[in-house]
Amino acid sequence: MIHPPGTQAWDTVRPGLPKTIRIHESLTSPHPTHLLSQPRLQGNLVTNSPNSCPKLSILPMPHTKVDPAILEALGLDPANSAMNSHGGSGFASTFKITSEKDGKPVNYFFKTGTGKGAEVMFRGEHASLNAIADAVPNFCPRSHAHGALSTRPGHYFLATDFLDLGSSAPGGSGKSLASKVAQLHTTPAPIPEGHDKPMFGFPVPTCCGATEQDNSWRSSWAEFYADNRLRHITRQALRKNGSDPELEEAVETVAGKVVPRLIGDDVVGNIKPVVIHGDLWSGNHSKGQIGGQGGCEEVVYDPSAVYGHSEYELGIMSMFGGFSNHFWQEYERLAPKAEPIAEWPDRVKLYELYHHLNHFAIFGGGYRGGAMSIMKKLISKYA
């Protein structure tokens, strides 16, 4: 997301879209100046765009009665459960549920959306959060339920642990962001149902901004990245922005020649699928308390997960910056660069390319230039 320095990060969401996460936090834009004029994805939503993600509903506020479908999914008693809008301004459609379980107070966060797009988005975010939570405990809120609201046909919900980004509670693990990301990137993916080994992909589609991503299982990472990411997003970009032979030819050259040369199974040794957050930029991590339990932790949110090559994560992290030299030194000590190390910068640029194409598919405009610049350099070296 792009926002002026010193503004409230979550207050720049386009009217009519809900904020994606909990407590307001002042942020200074970390993005390179050449990207500041471009719209930016806000987690699983987008900002500054009239053609953004699936339309998400705004429920009347305050709205104290919790939908029966949510009560049932969370196992809550309607007699002691209530919800209130949470997140601030008038565009919010995010809510905090307060209730009791076993005589103890509990809080949940939930959001609602309208239509098939919201259903797909919430299913993907539900699976993404839990994949991360399974790999690295206390790194993100766990999702407890998603589904259809019973009192509002065509409306869907996602219910997660309440994440208090304003907390300074003591007693956290003390683990750094770098150590948690490294743990995420070195924890082997589970074996998916119907297969006999870990695969590249994800059990359900996920959304990166407005883009529904094809996460169909593949045994080859190079094939997954070429087909499920580069070619897939290019088709969407062409549908949105019109015919573009130069872009299409460049993407095909990268997918057909550069990808196997840079990240082919016989080039980068021993690529194993691990959990990738999928949209890990400075606006999607902070410090907070998860579910009212334990202390303040380094946390991430708004994921678009996939089981993939750990270096794939570095594309979006490098594109918008915001991670210190100290972060990278610690991360690379715990998750060393793969061989051949000399080609590591170009592999990261190859992964950054997907996000330029995704932003171009959603926003059009200057992101095409960024994509073409990356492709021309990679093609000149590897095609």
| Residues tagged active-site | 279
User: Which residue reads 């959304």 in tokens?
Assistant: 207
d(CA 85, CA 64): 9
d(CA 59, CA 43): 21
- Other CB atoms within 10 A of residue 62 CB: 10
User: Which residue reads 């570095």 in tokens?
Assistant: 314
What is the identity of the amino acid at 126?
H
Longest dimension (CA), the chain: 66
Q: Angle formed by the axes of helices 245-253 and 367-382, to 10°?
A: 40
